[in-house]
Chains A and B, each alone.
Chain A
Amino acid sequence: MVASGNRVLELDGITKSFGGVRAVDGASFHVDGGEVVCLLGDNGAGKSTLVKIITGVHTPDSGQMSINGELIKRWNPARARDAGVQTVFQDRSLAGRQTVARNIFMGRELTTRFGLIDDKRQEAEAEALLRGVGFTSKALSARSEVLNLSGGERQGIAIARAMHFAARLLILDEPTESMSLTQIRLTLGFTRAARDRGIAVLLISHNIADAYAVGDRFLVLDRGRVLETFHKSEISEGELVRFMEHANADSAGTGSRTTSERQTTQESSA
C-alpha cells in the first residue's frame, strides 16, 4: 500500500469474534490527518468493536493495524493514549460520583511537586475547557459531580476531554446521540475544528445527516466489513440515506443474524 505521509490510521483485514460471532470480519480502511472519516452502519455492523480495537480495549484475532505508519504489535489503552489516540466512547467513559475535573484529567493528572493531584489547577483548566466547548451554565462547574449532569452535559465533558488530549487521532462514537440541536451544532463545530488542526477524525454515527454535515469520506460497514466507501463529492446526503436503507434492508433479510447481532452488541459493550 502506498502510505501517504499523513496517514494516521490504517487497518488491514481486521477480524474479531466473540464466542463464535464475527463482530468484525476483515475490515480494511485508513484515516489521514486533516480528514473526517465517518463509519456508518446499522446496529451490530461492528462499529463499536472496531473502535475498541483501535483504542486497545480489544485485541483483534487477525489483521494488521498501523498508527502513524508504525505497525502495532502489543496494543493497549495506555499505548493508544500515548500515541495520541483519543476517543469519546458511546458510554462517555465518565465516572458519575467523581467531579468533572477529576473525570477530565483521569489518567493524566496534573500533579504538584510532591506527586499529589493539583486539584486547583485541574479545576481551573477544566473550567476553561468547558467554556471552550460552549458551556455557559453556571450550575455546571468543574467541581460538579457527573451524576448530576444531563446527557448533553456529559457528552460535552467527554468531548472537551478528548479534544484537549487528542494529538493525532480523535475517535467520536455516536457523538450527537441524545443531544439538543444547539449541542449538536457545537459538537460538529468541534469536529471540524479538530480536522482543521490536522487531526485525523473517525466519526461513528447512526445519524447520517450529522455525519454528512462534517464528513469527508463515508465508509458503510455491514456485518463487520466495509461494504462501500464514498467521497463527499461522489454522493449527496439523500443518496447516502437511500444507500444505507438499501443495505439495511438487504441484511435484515438474513434470518438468524438478528440474534447473533444482539449478542455481539451486548458483548462489545459489556
Chain B
Amino acid sequence: MMATTRFAKAPAPAEPARRGPGGRQFFRTHRELTSAATFFVAMLGVFALANPGVWLRGDIFAAVATTMPQLMILSVALVFVVALGEIDLSFPSIITLGSLVFASAATAGIQPSVAVLLALLAGLGAGLLNGVLVAYLGLSSFVTTLGMNFFWAGLINILSNGSGKPLQFMSGTAEFNAFVGTVFGIPVQLFWGLAAAAIGGLLFSKHKFGAYVRFAGDNREAAAQLAVPVRAIKVASFSYVGLSAGLVGVIVTLVNVNFYPNVGAGLLLPALAGVFVGGTPMFGGVGTIAGAAIGAITISFINVGIITSGLSGFWTDFVYGIVIVLSLGVHRIAERFSFRPRTGRNKREPAAVTPAA
C-alpha cells in the first residue's frame, strides 16, 4: 500500500519546476535577507504605533544616519569572519587604535589625509595580526581576539595616559567634510556605509574571495582538497575587519571631534548584533551582506524608537535583547518555511539516483 502510493506519486516531481514562481525562488535564495527586512519593518511598525507623528519627520532619520553607518561598515566586514566559522571580538579596540593613530598624527601636524591613511594601515595591521595568529598558529579566534581586544585597549591607555585629544581644529576641513559632513542634509558617512555594504556585497556574493570564505567556512577540509588557500582567506578576512575598524575609528573621531580612549568599546555588541539580526548564522558557510546592512539599520533604530515611544534610556538593553532573540526566531521560521518544499520533494524523489542502502 505504502509502496504503491509512493510509486504512484513518483513521476509527478519531474515537471514541477526547480525554479518555482519568481517570488518563491527569490525568497529561497535570499531567505535571510527577506526575513531580516520583514523583521525590521515589523519593528518600525511597533515603534510607529507607539508614536506615529514623530516618524513622519525627517530629522529622526538624519539622527540615525549619523551613527548607523559606522555599525553598517563593521557588520558588513564581520559577515566574512562569521561565515568562515570564526569570530572577531577585537574590533572595538582596533577602532580606538585607528582613532588614536588618526588623532595623534593630526595633532602632530601631519597632513590629515595622511593621518587617515595611517589610521587605516593601523587597523589593517591589527587585523592582519589577528588573522596570522588564528590561521597560522591555529589559535581559537574567540579567545585570540578577546585577548587582542584587551591588548590594544591596554596599550592605548598606556600610550594616551588615559586622556583624550580634542580635535576641534579639524572641524570644517576637507577631510572632515569628506567623512562626516552633510550633503543635502544627509550625513556623508551614510554614503561611506552604503559604499562599504555595496563593496562587501559584491565581494561576498560575486568575487572569488567571498566564494572561498563561504566554502572554507562550510567545509574546511574540502576547501583544502580543492586547493582553496584557506589560511590566506582567513588572514584576509580578519584584515578586512581590521581595515573597516580603522575606517570607523576615523569616522567616530571626526563625529566627536575628539579622541577618547574607549571610543570603540560601545560598538562591540551592536555591530555583532547587526550580523546576527541580519540573518548570518554562527555555523559558517552562509552569510548575507544585505542582511547585515539591514541588521545594522535595525539595531540603530532601537535607540530612536525607545525615545520616541516615550520610554526611558533604561529600556535600551532590554529592547536590544528582545530584538536579537526575536529576530533569530524569525530567521529560523523562515528557514523552515523555505526548506520544507525542497525536502518534501526530495523525499518523494524515486530511485533514479538514491544510494543503495
B108 contacts the other chain (CB 8 A): no
Determine the distance from Cα of A119 to Cα of B349 in the docked complex, in whole angstroms. Answer: 27
A138 contacts the other chain (CB 8 A): yes
Selected from A93, A98, A178, A182, the residue in CB contact (under 8 A) with B352 is A182
B343 contacts the other chain (CB 8 A): yes
Interface residue tally for chain A (C-beta within 8 Å):
49
**Beyond A95-B223, A95-B285, is A139–B349 a contact (Cβ under 8 Å)?**
yes
Q: Flag the segment in A148-156, A190-198, A248-256 that touches B.
A: A148-156
Selected from A138, A148, A152, the residue in CB contact (under 8 A) with B346 is A148
Residues of A within 8 A of B202 (CB): 116
**Beyond A77-B226, A139-B13, is A156–B353 a contact (Cβ under 8 Å)?**
yes
Residues of B within 8 A of A218 (CB): none
Q: Are A148 and B343 in contact (CB under 8 A)?
A: yes
Q: Are A143 and B18 in contact (CB under 8 A)?
A: yes
B354 contacts the other chain (CB 8 A): yes
Residues of B within 8 A of A135 (CB): 353
Residues of A within 8 A of B207 (CB): 115-117
Q: Which residue of A lies closest to B339 (CB)?
A: A148
Q: Are A94 and B352 in contact (CB under 8 A)?
A: no
**Beyond A116-B207, A152-B353, is A95–B227 a contact (Cβ under 8 Å)?**
no
Q: Are A78 and B227 in contact (CB under 8 A)?
A: yes
Q: Are B353 and A77 in contact (CB under 8 A)?
A: no
**Beyond A116-B206, A117-B208, is A106–B354 a contact (Cβ under 8 Å)?**
no
Residues of B within 8 A of A259 (CB): none
Selected from A57, A93, A144, A151, the residue in CB contact (under 8 A) with B219 is A93
User: What 1/0 mask marks residues of chain B from 1 to 41 whose CB sits below 8 Å from any chain A CB?
Assistant: 00000000000011101110000000001000000000000
User: What 1/0 mask marks residues of chain B from 203 to 230 whose CB sits below 8 Å from any chain A CB?
Assistant: 0001110010011001101111111110
Residues of A within 8 A of B183 (CB): none
Q: Are B342 and A148 in contact (CB under 8 A)?
A: yes
Determine the distance from Cα of A140 to Cα of B350 in the docked complex, in whole angstroms. Answer: 13
Residues of A within 8 A of B345 (CB): 139
A61 contacts the other chain (CB 8 A): no
Interface residue tally for chain B (C-beta within 8 Å):
39
B contact patch SS = helix
Q: Are B285 and A180 in contact (CB under 8 A)?
A: no
CB under 8 Å from chain A, chain B span 216-246? 218-219, 221-229
Q: Are A55 and B346 in contact (CB under 8 A)?
A: no
A87 to chain B, nearest CB (A): 7
Determine the distance from Cα of A110 to Cα of B169 in the docked complex, in whole angstroms. Answer: 51
Determine the distance from Cα of A151 to Cα of B351 in the docked complex, in whole angstroms. Answer: 12
A59 to chain B, nearest CB (A): 13
Residues of A within 8 A of B342 (CB): 148
Q: Are B15 and A95 in contact (CB under 8 A)?
A: no
A2 contacts the other chain (CB 8 A): no
Q: Are A152 and B355 in contact (CB under 8 A)?
A: yes
Q: Are B208 and A180 in contact (CB under 8 A)?
A: no
Q: Which residue of B lies closest to A96 (CB)?
A: B218
Selected from B29, B215, B352, B356, the residue in CB contact (under 8 A) with A102 is B215
B286 contacts the other chain (CB 8 A): yes
A81 contacts the other chain (CB 8 A): yes
Determine the distance from Cα of A91 to Cα of B351 in the docked complex, in whole angstroms. Answer: 22
Selected from B214, B215, B228, B356, the residue in CB contact (under 8 A) with A180 is B356
Q: List 15 additional A-B contacts (Cβ < 8 Å) besides A98-B211, A115-B208.
A: A57-B225, A76-B227, A93-B226, A96-B218, A115-B207, A117-B211, A136-B352, A137-B14, A138-B14, A141-B18, A141-B19, A143-B29, A149-B346, A180-B356, A183-B356
Residues of B within 8 A of A (CB): 13-15, 17-19, 29, 202, 206-208, 211, 214-215, 218-219, 221-229, 285-286, 339, 342-343, 345-346, 349, 351-356
* A-B residue pairs in contact (CB < 8 Å), sample of 10: A76-B227, A80-B227, A96-B219, A96-B285, A107-B227, A141-B18, A150-B354, A151-B354, A182-B351, A182-B352
8 closest cross-chain pairs (CB), A and B: A95-B218, A93-B222, A151-B355, A77-B227, A78-B227, A97-B285, A141-B18, A95-B219
